[in-house]
């Protein structure tokens, strides 16, 4: 099965196809993680994107029944240097080829992923076509011209209707009952399962709300706190989420991650901007300016918060990216509101950032008193 990756600038990469036969248009991005491809592909934040993995061998430990971060694959395509058709892992239930085929997602391999990554780093994320069904370059070019990339996937990446997830006090290896009795409302832009677990494992009762839920609808059930999730797309296209958050500032303790972090910035009156090629990987260094401690973090985002725009809106920058100095965390000077750009639930080996869930639970409990 022939594989084709065609970029909007005319670049062509030919390889072999795997997964489900098909052709998709999406935004080409790269991820530097050495492991975790199952969680990456099922992260709703990748909706609309085609992922180029920098690590050369993908699929060697197969696909398990426990590592999905959502109900299925959200990425529009997958690009690798090489894949394993016969994985070796006691938890594996199928190969990555079988999984992509089952999920209806096209993949290509045997291409120079290093060259593709360098292209993205030089020119920025770019619209492309991935195909493994034998289309011509001309057909791919025609698909590019007829397809506009969407920026509002957060409208459909989360739950469609309200749902409750209950935690069990004291579950886990440590004492995690500190959130018992707390009711947390989650505005879902495309949440990862590990984030929900970060709350329910601490005993919180979590109520998921779909995109478009109003502040009044959230307050009607008298929650103790509000969590804003990660999700795909441009935060400035998340108008209803920003409006709801703005109306809840000062009325509930709020914690946001990734898209939720950006939504808080916009709700406070700040700005966001698109990064040249984003942050995607499991080895991004972040420093906590208030403790002086650094952490290795998992990240997946195309946009960042404009530091100057929030520091004049009663927000304090609390975390910075150690590679490029972009804002990785902030808090409000007087209100119980804080957020981080990275994924504390990701735990790429270290569990450095799990304390943020405890901080949120503590903040909610103190506010409730």
State the catalytic residue, choosing from 284, 319, 332, 343: 343
Name the CATH topology of 2-146.
Answer: Glucose Oxidase; domain 1 (3.50.30)
Query: Following CA atoms 44, 50, 327, 257 in sequence, which dihedral angle do they give, to the nearest 10 degrees?
Result: 10
> 258 catalytic, yes or no?
yes
- Copy the structure tokens of residue 14: 């030919």
Name the CATH topology of 154-368.
Answer: Rossmann fold (3.40.50)
Q: What tens digit of pLDDT does each residue of 41-77 get?
A: 999 999 999 999 999 999 999 999 999 999 999 999 9
| Burial tier of 355 (Cβ tally within 10 Å: 0-12, 13-18, 19+) | middle
Q: Using only the alpha carbons of the chain, give its radius of gyration.
A: 20
pLDDT above 50 (res 174): no
Task: Give dist(CA 17, CA 97) in Å, integer.
Answer: 10
DSSP code for 237: G
> Angle at CA 143, nearest 5°, toward 140 and 144?
90
pLDDT bin (cut points 50, 70, 90) of residue 352 is confident
| pTM for this predicted structure | 0.95
User: Which segments within 111-232 are labelled E, that is strand?
Assistant: 126-131, 163-166, 183-187, 205-209, 225-228
Q: What tens digit of pLDDT does each residue of 250-282 get?
A: 999 999 999 999 999 999 999 999 999 999 999
pLDDT above 50 (res 125): yes
Q: Are 38 and 138 in contact (CB under 8 A)?
A: no
pLDDT above 80 (res 105): yes
pLDDT bin (cut points 50, 70, 90) of residue 167 is low
Per DSSP, what are the bridge partners of residue 228? 187, 256
Domain ranges of the chain: 2-146, 154-368
As a whole number, mean pLDDT of residues 93-112 equals: 98
State the catalytic residue, choosing from 27, 204, 258, 261: 258
């Amino acid at each position: 099965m022939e594989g084709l990756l065609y970029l909007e600038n005319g670049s062509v990469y030919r390889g072999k196809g795997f997964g489900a036969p098909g052709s998709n248009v999406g935004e080409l991005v790269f991820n530097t993680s050495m492991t975790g491809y199952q969680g990456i592909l099922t992260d709703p934040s990748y909706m609309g994107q085609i992922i180029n993995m920098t690590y050369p061998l993908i699929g060697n430990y197969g696909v398990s029944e426990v590592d999905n971060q959502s109900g299925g694959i959200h990425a529009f395509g997958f690009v690798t240097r090489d894949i394993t058709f016969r994985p070796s892992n006691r938890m594996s239930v199928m190969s990555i080829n079988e999984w992509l085929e089952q999920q209806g997602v096209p993949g290509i391999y045997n291409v120079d992923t290093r060259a593709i990554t360098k292209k993205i780093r030089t020119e920025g994320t770019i619209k492309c076509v991935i195909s493994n069904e034998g289309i011509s370059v001309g057909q791919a070019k025609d698909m590019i011209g007829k397809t506009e990339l969407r920026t509002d996937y957060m409208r459909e990446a989360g739950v469609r209707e309200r749902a409750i997830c209950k935690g069990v006090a004291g579950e886990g290896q440590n004492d995690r009952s500190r959130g018992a009795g707390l009711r947390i409302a989650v505005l879902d832009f495309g949440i990862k399962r590990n984030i929900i677990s970060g709350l329910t494992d601490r005993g919180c009762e979590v109520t998921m709300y779909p995109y478009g839920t109003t502040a009044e609808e959230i307050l009607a059930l008298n929650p103790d706190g509000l969590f804003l999730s990660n999700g795909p797309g441009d935060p400035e296209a998340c108008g209803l989420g920003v409006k709801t958050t703005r109306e809840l500032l000062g009325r509930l303790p709020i914690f946001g991650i990734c898209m939720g972090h950006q939504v808080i910035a916009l709700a406070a009156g700040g700005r966001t901007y698109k990064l040249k090629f984003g942050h995607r990987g499991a080895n991004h260094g972040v420093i906590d300016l208030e403790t002086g401690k650094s952490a290795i973090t998992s990240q997946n985002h195309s946009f960042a918060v404009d530091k100057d725009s929030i520091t004049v809106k009663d927000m304090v920058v609390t975390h910075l990216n150690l590679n490029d100095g972009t804002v990785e965390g902030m808090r409000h000077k007087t209100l119980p509101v804080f957020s981080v750009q990275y994924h504390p639930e990701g735990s790429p080996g270290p569990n450095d950032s799990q304390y943020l869930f405890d901080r949120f639970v503590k903040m909610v409990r103190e506010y409730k008193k």
